[in-house]
Every structure is written in C-alpha cells, then in structure tokens.
Chains A and B, each alone.
Chain A
Amino acid sequence: GENVEQHPSTLSVQEGDSAVIKCTYSDSASNYFPWYKQELGKRPQLIIDIRSNVGEKKDQRIAVTLNKTAKHFSLHITETQPEDSAVYFCAARGNRDDKIIFGKGTRLHILP
C-alpha cells in the first residue's frame, strides 16, 4: 500500500543553523506533497506544499524540494529560531484518490 517514510524522528539544531527533514514515498502516482507543523496540543498547520510539476518551492526561511524520479522530498528550514521547535510531518497525496498519507513525524528541537 501507499507509504511515506520520514527521517530523522528527532532532530536537534543550534539556533541560527539549518534543519533538513527528508521523506520518501511509495506511490509513484502521488502528485501533492504538503508539510505540516504541529505544536504540542495543537492542530497540524500547513506550512508549505509542493506539487509534482515543480522541483522546488521557497517561502521565506522554509523551502521544499522534490525529486520525482527518486520519490524523495525534503523540508529545509534556514536560520532556525526557537519558535521552530515542533513536530513536522511530511505527507503525500495519491493521484487516484484524495487520501493524504502522513509520515510519522520529526520532532525538531532548536537549541539556544
């Protein structure tokens, strides 16, 4: 079945440095890849997304890259700040239905 793998499960980064989270997906027909940020006790919030016809997208300090051939996509956060500490989920949407499959999440700690 469809599967999304996410690495690492935990990531600690010094404030100001960059953080990278990587995901792979199994369904080659997937065409939409959102990233969600979830703070403790709160709902997942969409922070950036990318569609299969685009290789890279950037929004201020956040960027996402997509390699369709390798079925990889990554989240890059530059100049990390304390408020970036949260759990980040990657996800993939198949082309056959509207189902969005999530990775297991990465807990990002920004160290002072």
Chain B
Amino acid sequence: ETGVTQSPTHLIKTRGQQVTLRCSSQSGHNTVSWYQQALGQGPQFIFQYYREEENGRGNFPPRFSGLQFPNYSSELNVNALELDDSALYLCASRPPEANYGYTFGSGTRLTVV
C-alpha cells in the first residue's frame, strides 16, 4: 500500500452531471497533482496543488477544478460531464523533501454515459 488512496474506485455518471473525486495523501505530502488517463494513453496532467493553492494547470477547461485541504486530502471536481471525460483519474502526491518522486493512487475509473 502506497499511502495514497482514492475514492470511489469506480463511478458511472450521466452526461451533464457533476462529479467529485477524492484523494487522501500521506501526512506531509503537501503537493498533489491530478491526471486523466484515457484508455491506452499516458496520464495527462490536469492541475497541481501546493499548500492548498493551485500552482500549475494543464490543457483542461475550467469545468475541471480542484481543492486541497490542510489534512493532505484533495478533490477533483468536474462539471457538465461529457462522454470524453470517461477515463481513469489519478492523483499523485509527494512530500516536500522528496523533490521529484511522486506516488500515485490507484485511481478512480469514471464512465460517462
């Protein structure tokens, strides 16, 4: 077990709905990144949070938003779901002293129908 947990593991939503995915990182992991991994593709960077503030964003529209909390947990929110949002969503976190090494959670498989 890596210490980075995500919930739920699987989720089915209808187009147009909103979804919240959750990530719980190890104590001290104050940097968390979220990735979208479509089937057969590499993870695509959505955004990153450091000390509860967004400090980097990939090419995703504003309907993808996030929050990071003082207890090292974080959320990914997606509004107005589209069919193409169906993917595996991964969070990855690291402590400040491990300047480069990220640990991934096991992901949430989102299916939009």
Bound-state CA distance A4–B8 (Å) is 30
Interface residues on B, range: 20 to 34
Query: 8 Å CB contacts to B: which residues of A24-71?
Result: 32, 34, 36, 42-46, 49, 51
By the criterion CB–CB under 8 Å, are B58 and A99 in contact?
A: yes
Contact with A along B29-46 (1 / 0, CB 8 A): 001010100001111110
Query: 8 Å CB contacts to A: which residues of B81-109?
Result: 90, 100-107
Bound-state CA distance A1–B44 (Å) is 13
Interface residues on A, range: 20 to 34
- The interface residues of chain B lying within 8 Å CB-to-CB of A49 are 100-101
Bound-state CA distance A104–B42 (Å) is 4
Q: Is the interface of A mostly helix, strand, loop or mixed?
A: strand
Does A86 belong to the interface (CB within 8 Å)?
no
- The interface residues of chain A lying within 8 Å CB-to-CB of B2 are 43
- The interface residues of chain A lying within 8 Å CB-to-CB of B59 are 1
Residues of A within 8 A of B (CB): 1, 6, 32, 34, 36, 42-46, 49, 51, 89, 91, 93, 97-105
Residues of B within 8 A of A (CB): 2, 31, 33, 35, 40-45, 48, 50, 55-56, 58-59, 90, 100-107
The 9 closest A-B CB pairs, nearest first, are A102-B42, A43-B104, A32-B100, A97-B56, A43-B106, A104-B42, A102-B43, A44-B104, A99-B56
